Amino acid sequence: MTYIYRLAGDDLELAEADLNGFLESQKINEEASRNGRLAETESHPRQLKRLALVHEVSEKISEASTVEELEVEEVEGSFAVRKEAVADREIEDIEGLIGDEIKSEENEVDLENPDTVFKAYVLDDRVVLGRQVLDIDRGLFRKRSNEKRPFSSPVSMDPVLARVLVNLSGVKPGEHVLDPFCGTGGILIEAGLCGVGVHGRDMNNEMVEGAEENLEAYGIINHDIQEKEISRVETDGYDALITDLPYGKSSEMTEDAVNNFVDLIEEFDGRVVFMYNEASVGGLEADFEVYVHKNLTRYIFIH
Ligand SMILES: C[S@@+](CC[C@H](N)C(=O)[O-])C[C@H]1O[C@@H](n2cnc3c(N)ncnc32)[C@H](O)[C@@H]1O
């Protein structure tokens, strides 16, 4: 069976990397193949809700260069066909055309609350028909945005971005992650919700207490957050290191914080994923650029 992922966001390469990191975290030894906004895998991973930049997942039924050539699937109960324009092409009444093929004495169309949702993805050169298996409620990320957390600060990271960093690390459930500049715990919340053990360090005790409060508000009771300056942080025993380096006026920082961090990761065996406000640091080049707002672009590094 082939699975189809409809990617979200403006940066489709980042969405693809989010998906591939997620596959690795599920111990799936396969990279997704991508065509524009659609990516496919042959494997069926668990924990699909962990994905940060995917709108929905479907099982592929068929694909063809014209709607007429598409093979449809028999279905009992109620169904609906919904189209998804993933390219700049329109096929008029594609839902009706496919619905007519599916319709039988065993089923009925219900556009409001169907048992089965078929998705018709219109690409530049072909049409793909799938049966939706998961509609990811991306609004759930907003429930964890800075202003919804018990402890907030201008340095807090957006939950979607934090989840992307966790996925890019490929960290698996049951493994352990360290965020040495944990701030309010934005990254640790997302890692903890993926079943990963969370460890945070920050030199500011207000952040340490705030991060603990935030983690507990989202049900992450097992945590290890300590007040520690980066030069005293130890990395033994962790599977991944994920962080957001201090920058700008809103983040208190010491002069050597970034250099000390670069030294620390040179000796670390596991995957390192971090954000910084410059495209290169300590001889490392950024892998992705993230536009935050008019005056702020940030960069993701995978080491
Ligand atoms: C950009 S913020 C991290 C934000 C975090 N990802 C969140 O979601 O809240 C950087 C953090 O690094 C901490 N920090 C700055 N310099 C430090 C140092 N030398 N050692 C340890 N922590 C430091 C700051 O207190 C701040 O909380």
List the chain domain ranges.
3-136, 140-302
The pairing of strands 116-122 and 127-135 is: antiparallel
Q: Is 177 a residue whose pLDDT tops 90?
A: yes
Ligand 1: residue whose CA is nearest its atom 1: 246
Where does 218-256 have alpha helices with state H?
none
pLDDT at position 251 is 62
Assess contact for 115 and 154: CB atoms under 8 A: no
Interior angle at CA 136, CA 135 and CA 138, nearest 5: 140
| Binding site membership of 159 for ligand 1 (Cβ less than 6 Å) | no
Residue 183 C-alpha to ligand 1 middle, in angstroms? 5
Q: What's the Cα-to-Cα distance from 185 to each of 144, 188, 236, rounded to whole Å?
A: 11, 5, 21
d(CA 7, CA 87): 12
pLDDT confidence band for 293 (50 / 70 / 90): confident
CATH of 140-302, one of 3.40.50.150, 3.40.50.460, 3.30.70.330, 1.20.1440.230: 3.40.50.150
Does the CB atom of residue 246 touch ligand 1 within 6 A?
A: yes
290 lines ligand 1 (CB under 6 A): no
CA of 14 to the centre of ligand 1 (A): 24
Average pLDDT of the chain to the nearest whole number = 95
Atom 17 (ligand 1) nearest CA = 253
Per-residue pLDDT, 252: 66
Asked whether residue 82 carries a pLDDT value surpassing 80, the answer given is: yes
Q: Is the pLDDT of residue 100 over 90?
A: yes
- pLDDT tens figures, 127-173: 999 999 999 999 999 999 999 999 999 999 999 999 999 999 999 99
- pLDDT tens, 218-275? 999 999 999 999 999 999 999 999 999 998 665 666 678 999 999 999 999 999 999 9
Closest to 165 measured CA to CA, from 294, 25, 57 = 25
129 alpha carbon – ligand 1 mean position (Å):
46
Residue 184 near residue 151, CB atoms below 8 Å: yes
Q: How much is the average pLDDT of 209-213?
A: 98
Nearest residue (by CA) to ligand 1, atom 16, is 253
Residue 127: predicted pLDDT: 96
The CATH code belonging to domain 3-136 is 3.30.2130.30
